[in-house]
Structure 1
């Protein structure tokens, strides 16, 4: 047995565990906003929800930067660069009191650091076990979903050790809920504690990882250009499908705690909801990966979309019942994990390993655009129509790719693919 492959998988798992803590933003957002509100009294929870969405946007678009860096450096060195940025952001954020500066430092650069490390860690893992792409993809990005489970408790215990409840304040002629100063002033310490934790795990992970390179494969799919891939209908079905379907899961991850606090659930309960959601977000990716290997992209995506349509339609009816709030939320976390898991295997299956990795960098950008899309939907639909209509809109957005997926052509022969792409 080649132990270097096993330790490499563990190391890459740990890297994704750390960069996956961008999902912790939804849990720590009320603390951050309460802290910034001390210095900017007009700030609201809704306006600062863009912090998470900017993080997702920069995360997905930095995949192109990651692809460039892997041409200049080894995959392992690219991980080193990405995680150095990621950890540094936490320490710099601990000294930040301006909302715009927080959006730039934490929102933008945290996503950049995560995006630079994401693809190299995944590609090193796939090189270890190239015949089990769905399973390995599921295992590695499982860690990406699990990261916030471990560190949600660290963050909440540091910032709000007494499980204090937020108070209602008047803001811009309306009202919003913020934690008082005794909780808010713990935010700098929270950032530093998380920073030291991430640094320690990163050092261990880099010690375990054995570097590798992407190698060209001699087949038809590797002989097509990126430009020609844009002429294929599957590219647009996947890109716009994820753009629409990603909105629901992203909203739940970003705003479950804000919504829960508005429904008067206590902070401790919502931290548990977020942590269990992270478990489902992470572990479900293994399930989705196996399902892709055993069935197909089309079947797996149909399952995910069916869940999303039903859950979004029914959420307003059950959200005041705490255990149903938990169940609906964690399943939506799992669906978001499924959206991410779909992309690497189908990109490689349709376009080959080398071209597929580059196309994957474009596919994942759809999730970044979805984050901005849902931010504006959230901002204006809630303002003018209310939360109930927001969930109706999210359900409708998942229904669109459900219909498109019925006509998706997945099993294209190499000859047919070449004819379609040339």
Structure 2
């Protein structure tokens, strides 16, 4: 069944993309890090780039801790309301950051910004899934494009406002002089950004049009801690367009409409025949196809795991490990590219433009990766980008003195990094079902985010310079590529990803490993 690209679907995708402008703002930290660090140094001379990384990881940690809660919130209050709540927290805490003068207060408020992102991250994506169920790759690609376009625009606004004169940093300290006008404009920069995030977030949230499928809160995660994975079946009526959901051991009534022409009167009458059938879950678990020949009616089997059941599925931990290794290097580069570039390139405007273009590449690439995944497969697309990333990062490390090479590598890494963020929600939906995607992906992102924070903070506190740390993250990225190959191998039995859930419902979960 093809999806209908109606006005509601288009507006929802547009709204989701606009809303994700503020979801991706954590990627612009590398752009404003020299300004914020220089501002904090005047209150505490012991603040360094490494310690200021805690502000960046605070955003990420806040998002990670609330992604699961965001899935629960979306079920309870709806997609649009979740987005409004997230926009309020993100814009409000950004504005309040203008009053911070200590590293701790800054990190705390930015962690709340991350919490706002986490609470509302999945709502626009789930809204798009509701309209376009069979095009999840392109939905996540289009919506998460905003995650790159947002920091592109915000980064240009921030740099133009704070350092319009293109003042260089002190070559000795790598920071701006406390008497520089750049430092004095930092508080107002956060006020401008806070107001901008409020406008963008509320406009995007207002354009979201839920499909009416959200329903009341679902407590399956709490009540279904054990037992076999839930298998749902739908009776699809091709002639009348019906779909009736069956639960384990449930019953259904199916009405088939047939039109007959009476020979004597020439009048067209309608006859309704009723079939009553009882289907047991044991029959569905055997993976038997059901077809009533003589009519266009069939059963579809859908494999759905609650978050508790997903946690007990070893495949979910392989997905988490893959997400960590393919994503952490991107977050590291986003936080440090400007500080690393300034060790060899003394042109703040050039590095800023590179960072903004890189964010734009990240956003545009997500739509490309989503479209590619719908054509050749999500696992294959992720695998290709995972192997390319460490190669480009090696070039980035060795060619920092060349402006052209530096700009090319940063933009390329951001573009390749976009594949992980774009494809993971769709992969989680394929492997564990659509019904609990908000909470399932929320849990995966929680573990992923916490581990990325630990890795990046540990790297920042290690005392190594950026060059040495780059080699460490190159190795981590290569491990991620190997894990991608392993997942692709495990799912290679299923040539068509659209029947992957049926395959998993008819075979042992652990047999795939």
Instruction: Name the TM-score, length of structure 1 as normaliser.
Output: 0.92
Change (3 A) 1:377 1:323: farther
Matches within 5 A, 1:240-251: 240-251=321-332
Change (3 A) 1:202 1:298: closer
Give, in angstroms, the shift of residue 402 of structure 1: 2.0
Which position in structure 2 is the counterpart of 1:129? 132
Which position in structure 2 is the counterpart of 1:192? 191
Matches within 5 A, 1:23-62: 23-62=27-66
Q: Within 2, Cα distance between the matches of 1:316 and 1:203? A: 40
Q: Within 1, Cα distance between the matches of 2:187 and 2:94? A: 9
- Cα deviations by residue, 1:121-164 (Å, 9 ceiling, x for unpaired): 11111212112110011000011111011111111111112111
Secondary structure at the counterpart of residue 209 of structure 2? coil
Which position in structure 1 is the counterpart of 2:157? 154
Change (3 A) 1:69 1:325: same
Matches within 5 A, 1:167-246: 167-168=170-171, 175-181=173-179, 182-212=181-211, 213-214=213-214, 218-219=232-233, 221-246=302-327
Q: Within 2, Cα distance between the matches of 1:374 and 1:58? A: 16
Which runs of at least 4 in structure 1 moved beyond 6 Å after TM superposition?
A: none
Contact 2:389 2:417 in 1 (8 A): no
Q: Within 1, Cα distance between the matches of 2:102 and 2:375? A: 50
Give, in angstroms, the shift of residue 2 of structure 1: 3.2
Secondary structure at the counterpart of residue 308 of structure 1? helix
Change (3 A) 1:32 1:49: same
Contact 1:58 1:111 in 2 (8 A): yes
The answer to whether 1:88 aligns with 2:92 is yes
More helix by share: 1
1:401 to 480, 489, 496: 480
Secondary structure at the counterpart of residue 49 of structure 1? helix
Give, in angstroms, the shift of residue 72 of structure 1: 2.4
Give, in angstroms, the shift of residue 400 of structure 1: 1.4
RMSD of aligned alpha carbons = 2.1
The answer to whether 1:140 aligns with 2:221 is no
Which position in structure 2 is the counterpart of 1:372? 453
Deviates more, 1:138-147 or 1:214-223: 214-223
1:275 to 315, 334, 356: 356
Give, in angstroms, the shift of residue 71 of structure 1: 3.0
Instruction: Give unmatched runs, 5+ long, in structure 2.
Output: 219-230, 234-300, 495-499
Give, in angstroms, the shift of residue 403 of structure 1: 2.1
Q: Within 2, Cα distance between the matches of 1:117 and 1:324? A: 37
Which position in structure 1 is the counterpart of 2:399? 318
- Cα deviations by residue, 1:47-81 (Å, 9 ceiling, x for unpaired): 11121122112212311111121232111111111
Instruction: Give unmatched runs, 5+ long, in structure 1.
Output: 170-174
Contact 2:90 2:113 in 1 (8 A): yes
Deviates more, 1:81-90 or 1:195-204: 195-204
More strand by share: 2
Contact 1:221 1:350 in 2 (8 A): no
Change (3 A) 1:200 1:379: closer
Give, in angstroms, the shift of residue 32 of structure 1: 0.9
Contact 2:68 2:440 in 1 (8 A): no
Which position in structure 2 is the counterpart of 1:329? 410
Change (3 A) 1:179 1:10: farther
Give, in angstroms, the shift of residue 245 of structure 1: 2.0
Give, in angstroms, the shift of residue 351 of structure 1: 1.3
Give, in angstroms, the shift of residue 418 of structure 1: 5.5
Give, in angstroms, the shift of residue 358 of structure 1: 2.4
Q: Within 2, Cα distance between the matches of 1:370 and 1:265? A: 33
Secondary structure at the counterpart of residue 121 of structure 2? helix
Instruction: Name the TM-score, length of structure 2 as normaliser.
Output: 0.76
Q: Within 2, Cα distance between the matches of 1:333 and 1:366? A: 22
Deviates more, 1:188-197 or 1:310-319: 310-319
